[in-house]
Amino acid sequence: MLKHRVLSIFLILLAIGIGFFVYKTNKYPFRLGLDLNGGTELTYRADVSKIKSGSVVDAMSSLRDVIERRVNLFGVSEPVVQVENPGLISGTSENRLSVELPGVTDINQAVALIGKTPQLEFMLVRPEAQNLSQEELRNKTIAEVFVTTGLDGQYLDSARLDFTSSGGSQISGQPLVAITFNSEGRDLFAKITRDNVGKVLAIFLDGQMISSPVIRDAITDGKAQISGGFTVDEAKSLVRDLNYGALPVPVELISTQTIGASLGQDAKTSGVKAGVVGFALIVLFLILWYRLPGIVASLSLVIYIILSLAIFKLIPVTFTAAGIAGFILSIGMAVDANILIFERTKEELKRDKSVHDALHEGFSRAWLSIRDSNISSIITAVILFWLGTSAIKGFALTLGIGVLISMFTAITVSRTFLFAIVPKTESRFKKFLFSNGLHI
Amino acid sequence: MKIEKLLNTMSIINHRKIFFVLSAALVLGSIFIMLGFGLNFGIDFKGGSSLEVSYASVRPDFDATKASLDSLNLGSYVLTPSGNLNYILKTRDITPAEKTTILGALSMDPANLAKEEQFNTLGPVVGTQLKNKALLAIAIVIICIVLFITFAFRKVSTPVASWKYGLATIIALAHDVIIPTGVFVTWSHFYGGQIDLLFVTALLAILGYSVHDTIVVFDRVRENLRVDSKGKETFSETVGKSVTQTFGRSINTSLTIFLALAALYFIGGESTRDFAFVLLVGVIVGTYSSIFVASPLLVTLEKLQK
């Protein structure tokens, strides 16, 4: 009994400590889903038909990285970019990418932000345009002057900022962009340069010619330099766009979802209010019906809520309207374990056992049904999490975590508290305190 | 006053045919309603766009707004007032650029502009896939739970094989999913409401709750069978006793969940109201079915063996 009392005090202090952490810490904020915070979710379908089947996963993860970097560049706070893999289980045969942008409610801006792809192209000057004067060139379209080589940004491996070295006719220290092609690009580049020595190979970015070097020799190492009279900043941003810009697979927007900030705010405040009122009603019922054990159950329920919130913060679990609903449901299930135990204790008390023995029996006999019923809830939560879309996942996660934590609080914590206050001597009044319902 | 005395230990089991008929009637009624009224799928499942706008001072006249929208090439659309100052517009799936045009058409008075609150759009293919995915999720949950129950009750193979506990649970599960769907379809026929992902989430939560509740009663059967290993009681007596013993717990647990859900329904806000409604119906039906359907079914299954 002393052991239980010491442990109880320790548990209460621990809960207060964790509660303080949940309340105070800003390092791990609650993550709110778009439906509570306002924002935009965009879902893209990736066209992987040109990718070899073995490397689709790689292509998708590099697509995710590219889009994530691009989103980050625009300073959206906590964007979530996720690949949704196809397969029998997920019910789709498509490769999808979902992008959540909290706080962004202008879809046009968001779509533009993600869809921005710098187009890098290498073009040869047409032989007939070779000798035209500047004046004449100005009146021609790009297609009239240049012929495409098929070499473009998709063959790019990487780009980096470099500076011209001294020597030759160059001024040293000028910024330039050094690019490296991938193996296919290297072969193509080698072929183009070998066949066109002495001609101009113009480099276009987003349809603008930025450099027009003359091919002096065949280049076989797959390296090229773009020197377009850049400032250091221009060269830097070109390097960034080239590295992060080219999407490895083409994407198509298939679904969008936008929720205004005020609507989200309403859902949030009313969800929290419902939680508080629901909790108060449950506590009222527990204390009125189960008396002293009801108070203990309410205390474990408070600890349950504190622990859950702490874990939601740490993982972090994104709260959505469905997630809050899942949490409220899990509160009900958490109480169920205590109800099972107390009802069982009452039965044992009726068989004229002492309060202490009745409690013991209550806990040990209720355990099996708590275990099996909770396992079935966990199975449900796992399947939902595995199959679900983001809204269902939020529900499954809060429910699953809730059930697991409730196994600890409703059993271990309640048990410790109850055995800490269980009376040594029996009396009618003490039996009344530990009994429940409208009768004794 | 004792509930146990009011309810004679055997009355539920002995009158099981009444409950079976009642449940069968409710299930059939729900199926007829689903077929008759049709399932009103939300854009989650059939694709399309939904745009909710609010006005700062006053919602413009309905007919005028419709006339303004008719001038756009939207095809068939549904415009519904929502709350005091909002409109919800449902259309085929539109592009962000078209949405901007629609917002312009909804803002007829420059002093009272339509403010976008919510915009969802989903291609029709995606919707069908989500629907299949949801059905698959429900099917897999049911299969896994039956397997688990067969496993958890493997040691109690007499007088009823453990898979029959699973069978009784599935029948109760189907009951608990079909009736709330029927009730929701009826409700949405009159008050509006759609079958969307949140609705499916609610059904899955009901599945979880219903099994949870049924297992508690079956666990008591399992325990009573073990205590009475000499077989002094008949199986129907054991089941009747188990139902009576767990009756108080079933009612009280449902009551706590009911309280939490009622709070969600009344003050939890618009976005989870339908969800809470379906769950409320589900909790009532789920509690009813574990006492009055699943447990008596065990007795029927035992009698069929003879």
* pLDDT (0 to 100) of residue A169: 57
Highest mean pLDDT out of A84-93, A421-430, B149-158, B293-302: B293-302
Fold: same for A39-116+250-257 and A120-245: no
* pLDDT (0 to 100) of residue A281: 92
What is the pLDDT confidence band of residue A117, given thresholds at 50, 70 and 90?
low
Of B136, B272, B279, the CB nearest to A91: B136
Please indicate whether, in this complex, the C-beta atoms of A277 and B263 are within 8 angstroms of each other: yes
CB A158 within 8 A of CB A138: no
Which of the listed CATH numbers 1.10.730.10, 3.30.1360.200, 3.40.50.2020, 3.40.50.720 matches domain A120-245? 3.30.1360.200
Strand partners, A130: none
Which A residues, 395 through 414, put their C-beta within 8 Å of a C-beta on chain B? 395, 399
Same domain, B222 and B129: yes
Question: What is the CA angle B157-B290-B12, rounded to 5?
Answer: 90
Set of chain B residues whose Cβ sits within 8 Å of the Cβ of A388? 137, 201
What is the pLDDT confidence band of residue B9, given thresholds at 50, 70 and 90?
low
- Whether the pLDDT of residue B111 is over 90: the answer is no
Please indicate whether, in this complex, the C-beta atoms of A369 and B216 are within 8 angstroms of each other: yes
Which A residues, 280 through 319, put their C-beta within 8 Å of a C-beta on chain B? 281-282, 285-286, 289
For A50-100, how does the pLDDT look when each residue is reduced to its tens digit (9 = 90+)?
677 777 777 787 778 777 777 776 666 677 787 876 654 444 567 788 888
What distance in Å separates residue A240's CA from the closest CA in chain B? 28
For B186-219, how does the pLDDT look when each residue is reduced to its tens digit (9 = 90+)?
988 887 778 887 888 888 888 888 888 888 899 8
* pTM (two decimals): 0.74
- Cα distances from A305 to residues A155, A276, A311, A394, in angstroms, run 54, 11, 10, 17
Domain total for chain B? 2
User: Which residues form the domain of B57?
Assistant: 48-116
Tell me the DSSP string of A119-142: -EEEEEEPGGGTT--HHHHHTS-H
CATH number of A39-116+250-257: 3.30.70.3400
Q: What is the mean pLDDT of residues A19-35?
A: 78
* pLDDT (0 to 100) of residue A90: 47
Task: Establish if A273 touches chain B: CB-CB under 8 angstroms.
Answer: yes
* pLDDT (0 to 100) of residue B182: 94
Nearest CA in chain A to B141: A380
- Those residues with Cβ within 8 angstroms of residue B31's Cβ, 6 or more apart along the chain or in another chain: B178, B182
Same domain, B143 and B56: no
For A429-440, how does the pLDDT look when each residue is reduced to its tens digit (9 = 90+)?
666 766 665 444
Set of chain A residues whose Cβ sits within 8 Å of the Cβ of B141? 379-380, 383-384
Q: What is the mean pLDDT of residues A94-107?
A: 79
Q: What is the mean pLDDT of residues A15-24?
A: 84
Give CA B216 to chain center in angstroms. 21
Please indicate whether, in this complex, the C-beta atoms of B205 and A395 are within 8 angstroms of each other: yes
Nearest CA in chain B to A436: B248
Set of chain B residues whose Cβ sits within 8 Å of the Cβ of A372? 152, 215, 219
- Count Cβ–Cβ pairs < 8 Å, chain A vs chain B: 230
What distance in Å separates residue A10's CA from the closest CA in chain B? 29
Question: Which amino acid is present at B292?
Answer: F
- Those residues with Cβ within 8 angstroms of residue A336's Cβ, 6 or more apart along the chain or in another chain: A370, A373, A410, B212, B253, B256, B257
Which of the listed CATH numbers 3.30.390.10, 3.10.20.30, 1.20.1640.10, 2.40.50.100 matches domain A2-32+260-434? 1.20.1640.10
* pLDDT (0 to 100) of residue B179: 95
Of A256, A285, A333, the CB nearest to B96: A256
